Amino acid sequence: MNSLIGTYECKADAKGRLMLPAALKKQLADVLQDGFVLKRAVFQPCLELYPMAEWELLMQKVNKLNRFKKKNNDFIRRFTAGVKIVEVDSTGRLLIPKDLVVFAGISKNTVVSSAVNILEIWDKERYEAAIDDAAMDFADLAEEVMGQDEEDGIS
């Protein structure tokens, strides 16, 4: 699967159903039938939506962790807390389970944002606050992460 592109404002209904934007459905067309995994994000108060193939790749890495090390076991437990398999219905809606709606503080106004090979689902106010908070530090972060010489990192 290619990288996903775009940030979209959406509406969630009272039952937690979110209509995926047409542009995202088009990008996900090849994987819609396989289903998705929806989970709590590690670093932000949002949700992460993994196409099933991407989730399986991630689980291959997680499965290599030694479960006889407490910190690995604790990580796996916390990383997979609240994980749900979800599907996009025939009308293009995704049902977000209630516990995940509560975790992310999802209200009517939401943002679905691409994050390379997954999607993040945010409450709109929380998304705007996270972007505003990150804007001040982004130049330093970009230099640290992407500004390495070719032999040291990404080229």
- H or E element, residue 66: none
Q: Tell me: pLDDT of 133 over 60.
A: yes
Q: What are phi and psi of 64, to 5 degrees?
A: -85, -10
Q: Rounded to an integer, what distance in angstroms lies between the CA atom of residue 150 and that of residue 4?
A: 25
Q: DSSP letter at 124?
A: H
Q: Tell me: pLDDT of 149 over 90.
A: no
- Global pTM reads 0.86
Q: How many degrees, rounded to 5, is the angle at CA 123 between CA 77 and CA 102?
A: 45
At the topology level of CATH, where does 7-146 sit?
Answer: Chemotaxis protein chec (3.40.1550)
Question: Strand, coil or helix: what is 115?
Answer: strand
> Cβ atoms within 10 A of the Cβ of 47, count?
27
> Cβ atoms within 10 A of the Cβ of 90, count?
6
Q: pLDDT tens across 99-114, in order?
A: 999 999 999 999 999 9
Q: Rounded to an integer, what distance in angstroms lies between the CA atom of residue 103 and that of residue 134?
A: 21
Q: pLDDT tens across 64-90, in order?
A: 999 999 999 999 999 999 899 999 998
Give residue 150's pLDDT: 62
